[in-house]
């Protein structure tokens, strides 16, 4: 008589054969909200189903939550933000996703079972959000939801489609305004007269740096003799405070040629920082010894914050009467002026360090308007030549209409 198969110990799950011939495994697994639920897995053979059972047990023993089919969107958002977004994306992306979930997605869709969310229901929710908060907000929230559902499709919870990709919100594309060369020169002249951070604005206009990259710039990233600047980190506000983190993408890390007119202002910045340090110490005033050696610092030696740079720029704009603009607009102006200089889009992509050339073309497409106007004007002049038209008419053969 063959020995009887020993019963699985408690907590190891079970594998049973269903009436349709498939095998079913059932294991109690932890949920993102701290509870424990029964999770089912299926397979065509016993071995396949048993393998899935052991995988679920390994996740449970490692303390990794395993979502179930009856998970609500609110529960999935908690899991997605904590396990997928925060460890793998930048602090800025995590903050953006968290705010979209907290302010819009959770109040409107948090109680919905994720696998039961339909296109009609989601479309209605997005239309109401567009009416309340605007189409641009609804479009942004829909993108966040799409990212969350795409991540859910990777998990073994039965989600087979991303309904957010089947819903569309029409919103105007606003990439922000940019300045022409004359306005940029007027701003730089005002910044040189009104602010000690003129070298920072010079780098924004000439290299199109992001303001977080500018604030994270260190002296070790600049070779003044060979005129090279390396973008290696950006200064971001995180849950741990304001720290230097890696740039938003691998393409953001790149060496850039340092324009000749930036060399003297940067040397002046270096001397100014040393002078402020000596004066503060000699007068017994507080001074922060920056171990990382940031290029742009405050009067107490602390690295300049992106928010402070914004306020400094607004002061320069107000005193010079140049209207509204922000540091991102200076980056956009850099790209726009490169387009007007007929620089190839691939080179502009390298300067601005976009991950995709489509981003470069989409954001700065309106910079091509003068070229389009000139082309249409040439066509108009070509087709407004009466003498040429009469010459062509005279050369046409006569057709017999009989």
Max intra-chain CA distance, the chain: 110
186 and 152 belong to one structural domain: no
Q: What is the residue-wise DSSP string for 242-304?
A: EEEE--SSGGG-EEEEPPGGGHHHHHHHHHHHHHHHHHHHHTT------TT-BSSB-TTSPBP
Query: Considering just the CA atoms, what is the radius of gyration of the chain in Å?
Result: 30
- Note the pLDDT tens digit of each residue in 13-26: 788 888 888 898 88
Say which range, 37-41, 171-175, 214-218, has the weakest mean pLDDT: 171-175
133 and 251 belong to one structural domain: no
Q: Which of 394, 366, 378, 17 is nearest to 177 (CA)?
A: 366
192 and 281 belong to one structural domain: yes
138 and 238 belong to one structural domain: no
Token pair for 333: 């102006």
> Binning pLDDT at 50, 70 and 90, where does residue 75 land?
confident
CATH number at residue 133: 1.10.150.130
228 and 137 belong to one structural domain: no
Q: How large is the average pLDDT for residues 355-365?
A: 67
What pLDDT shows up at residue 368? 46
Of 166, 197, 217, which marks where a domain is finished? 166
213 and 322 belong to one structural domain: yes
313 and 261 belong to one structural domain: yes
In this model, does residue 10 exceed pLDDT 60? no
198 and 319 belong to one structural domain: yes
In this model, does residue 320 exceed pLDDT 80? yes
> Binning pLDDT at 50, 70 and 90, where does residue 93 land?
confident
Per the domain annotation, does 333 fall within a domain?
A: no
First-to-last C-alpha distance (Å) of the chain: 108
Q: Which residue has the higher pLDDT, 340 or 161?
A: 161
What pLDDT shows up at residue 379? 64
Contact 283, 276 (CB under 8 A): no
Domain residues for the domain of 48 are 14-55
Q: What is the number of domains present in the chain?
A: 3
What pLDDT shows up at residue 190? 93
Query: What's the pTM?
Result: 0.65
Per the domain annotation, does 9 fall within a domain?
A: no
What pLDDT shows up at residue 1? 46
- Note the pLDDT tens digit of each residue in 204-241: 999 999 999 999 999 999 999 999 999 989 888 776 77
Q: DSSP 3-state assignment of 317?
A: helix
What pLDDT shows up at residue 70? 73
Please list the alpha-helical segments (H only) found in 3-45. none
Q: Which residue has the higher pLDDT, 366 or 140?
A: 140
20 and 93 belong to one structural domain: no
Per the domain annotation, does 313 fall within a domain?
A: yes
Per the domain annotation, does 151 fall within a domain?
A: yes
What pLDDT shows up at residue 12? 64
Tokens 């609804």 found at: 138
Q: DSSP 3-state assignment of 234?
A: strand
CATH number at residue 307: 1.10.443.10
Of 307, 327, 347, which marks where a domain is finished? 327
Per the domain annotation, does 246 fall within a domain?
A: yes
Distance CA 302, CA 41 (A): 55
Q: What is the residue-wise DSSP string for 154-218?
A: HSSS-----GGGG--------------HHHHHHHHHHHHHH-TTHHHHHHHHHH---HHHHHT-B
77 and 156 belong to one structural domain: yes
Per the domain annotation, does 248 fall within a domain?
A: yes
In this model, does residue 53 exceed pLDDT 90? no
Q: Which residue has the higher pLDDT, 51 or 32?
A: 51
142 and 26 belong to one structural domain: no
249 and 309 belong to one structural domain: yes
Say which range, 255-259, 342-346, 396-400, has the weakest mean pLDDT: 396-400
């Amino acid at each position: 008589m063959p020995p009887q198969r020993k019963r699985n110990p408690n907590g190891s799950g079970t594998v049973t054969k269903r009436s349709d011939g498939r095998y079913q495994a059932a294991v109690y697994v932890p949920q993102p909200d701290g509870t424990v639920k029964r999770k089912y897995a299926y397979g065509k053979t016993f071995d396949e189903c048993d393998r899935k059972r052991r995988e679920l047990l390994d996740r449970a023993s490692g303390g990794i939550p395993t979502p179930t089919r009856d998970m609500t969107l609110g529960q999935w958002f908690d899991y997605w933000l904590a396990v997928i977004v925060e460890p793998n994306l930048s602090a800025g992306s995590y903050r953006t996703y968290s705010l979209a979930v907290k302010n819009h997605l959770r109040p409107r869709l948090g109680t919905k079972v994720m696998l039961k969310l339909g296109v009609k229901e989601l479309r209605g929710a997005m239309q109401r959000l567009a009416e309340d908060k605007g189409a641009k907000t609804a479009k942004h929230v829909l993108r966040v939801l799409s990212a969350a559902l795409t991540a859910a499709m990777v998990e073994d919870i039965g989600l087979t489609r991303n309904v957010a990709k089947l819903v569309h919100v029409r919103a105007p594309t606003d990439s922000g305004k940019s300045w022409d060369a004359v306005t940029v020169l007027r701003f730089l002249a005002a910044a040189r007269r009104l602010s000690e951070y003129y070298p920072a604005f010079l780098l924004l206009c000439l290299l199109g740096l992001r303001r977080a990259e500018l604030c994270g710039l260190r002296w070790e990233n600049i070779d003044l003799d060979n005129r090279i600047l390396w973008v290696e980190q950006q200064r971001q506000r995180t849950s741990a405070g304001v720290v230097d983190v890696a740039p938003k993408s691998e393409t953001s890390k790149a060496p850039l040629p340092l324009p000749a007119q930036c060399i003297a202002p940067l040397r002046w910045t270096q001397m100014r920082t040393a002078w402020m340090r000596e004066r503060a110490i000699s007068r017994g005033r507080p001074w922060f010894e920056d171990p990382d050696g940031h290029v742009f610092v405050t009067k107490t030696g602390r690295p300049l914050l992106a928010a402070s740079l914004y306020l400094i720029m607004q002061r320069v704009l107000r005193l010079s009467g140049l209207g509204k603009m922000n540091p991102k607009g200076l980056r956009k102006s850099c790209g726009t002026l490169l387009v007007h200089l007929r620089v190839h889009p691939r080179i502009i992509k390298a300067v601005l360090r976009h991950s995709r050339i489509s981003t470069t073309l989409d954001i700065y497409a309106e910079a091509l308007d003068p070229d389009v106007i000139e082309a249409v004007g040439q066509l108009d002049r070509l087709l407004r030549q009466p003498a040429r038209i009469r010459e062509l008419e005279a050369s046409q053969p006569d057709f017999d209409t009989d």
